[in-house]
A and B are shown apart, each in its own frame.
Chain A
Amino acid sequence: MSNDIFVLAEHFKGQVADITYEMTGKARQLATALGGQTVGVLLGNDMATLAASIGADRVLYVNDPALTHFNPEAYGRVLHALIQKHNPRVMMIGSTSMGMDLAAALSITTGLPLIAYVTALDVEEGTLVATSQIYGGKIQAEAIPDGEACIISCLAGAFPAEAGRVETGQRAVETIPSPVPLDDLRVRFVQLIEPAGGDVDITQQAILVSIGRGISGAENVELAQELAEALGGAVSASRPVTDAGWLPKTRQVGKSGLTVKPKVYLALGISGAPEHLEGMRNSELIIAINTDPKAPIFDVAHYGATCDMLDLMPALTEAIKARQAA
């Protein structure tokens, strides 16, 4: 076993995902403490430029047409082979749609321990300590892997992406063909299906009026639209609202939706589940309205109040119009 820290670099539609930088930044800290190297692992096809952009001491780029698009079976086989061959100290995988298909399966095939939903990761006197965020974000668990080598599944936003972006490792890219055959896969990627187009891109908005379960019903969404119009912004929502069909999926903020960083994020009737916070916690100004004073949203908001959002929206629309007319 080496003391290297391997990071699975995630990419989508030709771009390296933020989570990759978050993990490579953290990997540098671990590698320094453990006396190993950071190794970015990129699986793809025709992605030499992407490979060169990953900040690590080495980049293992596995190039194969079967890896063009994410395929859990293909990626799983390749990663398994790489882990077996290189025996890294830590294999870091994002807790994302892609990563969640891989990490737990690899734990079984390689026999390595897996610690998931990790928000903090450090080395204490040569021992890795990982903190998981579980039970809907209500509980944290600090754990030590049994044995030295392990797989760590990291929550998006747990570590700063900046650290990974300024990473100045050598980036020696080693391009290799797939170490295992990929011609007999049982899982076949067919196509990507984009959501219905012609809607607002909430990631480009400076002001977001974001509504949660507290909106209580489709008929109240109008109030949010009016407020957003008055503010010159757009309406976004947490998952329960888009699941109910009251707004299209393209308006969803959060782990399975979009990440936004507007100047103003008005969180109305949103409790602040971790999956939602992931999508908006870096907004410049967060104002939260929720009738529950203990709602986790207040932990990330800058200002808050416990009045009813259905009362607040029309009142705020009026207050804004009054100031604009003055």
Chain B
Amino acid sequence: MNIIVPIKQVPNLTDELEINDEGTDLAHDMVQYVLNEFDEHALEEAVLIKESVGGTVTVIGVDTTGELDGILHLALAKGADKAMKITGDFMPGTPSHVQAQLIADAIRTLAPDIVLTGVQAADDRDGQIGPMLAAHLNLPYVGVVTGVSITDGQAIVHKEYAGGVMAEFIVALPMVVGVQAAHRPPRYAPVSKIRQIAKTARIEALAGVETAQAGSTVRRMFKPEAAGHAEMWDGTPDEIAEKIADLLAEKGLLKRTL
């Protein structure tokens, strides 16, 4: 099977994010970029499919930071067979519409049997890449998927709804899947393996030509004001426990045991 996994780099969210001077975008130079965690799951699911029915897993991304190679090496260490990057004058924060168009242009001729990508990313202000790819390639799409199995040129996918309910679909391949979570947590890639791959791997670079647009313009980007804030209590856990118990008792919420 020809399995393709489009990925993107996103800002590391555990860090403080700052706004640029113009107030219209993130201060990207202060940001650390990591692999989108949903794409990590898509990659794991792809490798699991490969291990189950055979094939090759190709990982592809748009290099918006000049530092995509490190992430592609990580992906190769996690089980991908090939890595491709789309190069050009792309800046951090390149909109999803543009990335989807670039990736679709690149993979159209590769004739994938299945495309797996993360269901969403933290910077998808103009929408998610998976469905856009499917639309560009005229392939069926199912997103928020937590399990893919392949039989006879078809994929059985489980789509998550709220409350633990899932919908089962059978889809004729080729298709695009928006992965919410892989069957099992993404496997570990030891640093020595990543470093070894960094020395020997060949990443195929493709020049990308941008024709799409985000479709909307940000006039202001800002950190939200907290609408209100909790009344904060100080003290030891025992003291806090007393305060909570008092509050509940006051509100008549403590049941009496007999």
Which A residues contact B (CB, under 8 angstroms)?
A: 12, 69-73, 76, 97, 100-109, 112-117, 129-130, 132-147, 150, 153, 185-195, 206-207, 231-232, 243, 248-250, 252, 255-259, 263-264, 266, 285-289, 293, 296, 298-308, 311-312, 315-316, 318-325
B-side contacts of A266, CB under 8 Å: 244
A-side contacts of B164, CB under 8 Å: 194-195, 248-250, 252, 257
- Does any Cβ of A come within 8 Å of B238's Cβ? yes
How many Å lie between the Cα of A140 and that of B125 in the bound state?
A: 10
How many Å lie between the Cα of A38 and that of B206 in the bound state?
A: 46
Contact of A189 among B96, B129, B169 (CB under 8 A): B169
Whether B125 contacts A319 by the Cβ 8 Å rule is no
How many Å lie between the Cα of A192 and that of B171 in the bound state?
A: 15
Question: Given A12-B161, A319-B244, A192 and B232 touching (CB < 8 A)?
Answer: no
Whether A139 contacts B221 by the Cβ 8 Å rule is yes
Task: Output the nearest chain B residue to A301 by Cβ-Cβ distance.
Answer: B230
Whether B234 contacts A305 by the Cβ 8 Å rule is yes
A-side contacts of B67, CB under 8 Å: none
Task: Output the nearest chain A residue to B14 by Cβ-Cβ distance.
Answer: A136
Contact of A101 among B131, B170, B240 (CB under 8 A): B131
Whether B233 contacts A303 by the Cβ 8 Å rule is yes
Closest 7 CB pairs of A and B: A113-B215, A195-B164, A104-B127, A311-B237, A304-B230, A249-B164, A108-B135
- Does any Cβ of A come within 8 Å of B189's Cβ? no
Band of interface residues on B: 35 or more
Which B residues contact A (CB, under 8 angstroms)?
A: 11, 13, 17, 19, 26, 96-97, 100, 119-120, 122-132, 134-136, 140-144, 156, 158-172, 175, 178, 180-181, 213-224, 226-238, 240-245, 247-249, 251, 253-257
How many Å lie between the Cα of A256 and that of B167 in the bound state?
A: 14
State the majority secondary structure of interface residues on B: mixed
How many Å lie between the Cα of A232 and that of B134 in the bound state?
A: 49
Task: Output the nearest chain B residue to A304 by Cβ-Cβ distance.
Answer: B230
Task: Output the nearest chain B residue to A325 by Cβ-Cβ distance.
Answer: B257
Whether B254 contacts A145 by the Cβ 8 Å rule is no
A-side contacts of B144, CB under 8 Å: 97, 100-101, 256
Contact of A69 among B167, B178, B220 (CB under 8 A): B167
Task: Output the nearest chain A residue to B220 by Cβ-Cβ distance.
Answer: A142
B87 to chain A, nearest CB (A): 23
Whether A143 contacts B123 by the Cβ 8 Å rule is no
Whether B131 contacts A104 by the Cβ 8 Å rule is yes
Contact of A146 among B163, B213, B229 (CB under 8 A): B213
Whether A305 contacts B215 by the Cβ 8 Å rule is no
Whether B135 contacts A258 by the Cβ 8 Å rule is no
How many Å lie between the Cα of A150 and that of B216 in the bound state?
A: 9
A-side contacts of B167, CB under 8 Å: 69-70, 189-193
Whether A143 contacts B217 by the Cβ 8 Å rule is yes
Contact of B241 among A69, A135, A315 (CB under 8 A): A315
A-side contacts of B227, CB under 8 Å: 299
B-side contacts of A147, CB under 8 Å: 215
A-side contacts of B257, CB under 8 Å: 321, 324-325
A-side contacts of B126, CB under 8 Å: 107, 113-116
How many Å lie between the Cα of A236 and that of B119 in the bound state?
A: 25
Contact of B127 among A107, A248, A287 (CB under 8 A): A107
A104 to chain B, nearest CB (A): 4
Contact of A287 among B122, B140, B158, B244 (CB under 8 A): B244
Whether B223 contacts A138 by the Cβ 8 Å rule is yes
B-side contacts of A315, CB under 8 Å: 237-238, 240-241
Whether A188 contacts B169 by the Cβ 8 Å rule is yes
16 contacts between A and B (CB under 8 A): A100-B143, A107-B126, A108-B135, A129-B219, A134-B125, A138-B17, A139-B224, A187-B175, A192-B165, A288-B230, A296-B226, A304-B231, A305-B232, A311-B237, A323-B254, A324-B257
How many Å lie between the Cα of A149 and that of B175 in the bound state?
A: 29
Whether A112 contacts B215 by the Cβ 8 Å rule is yes
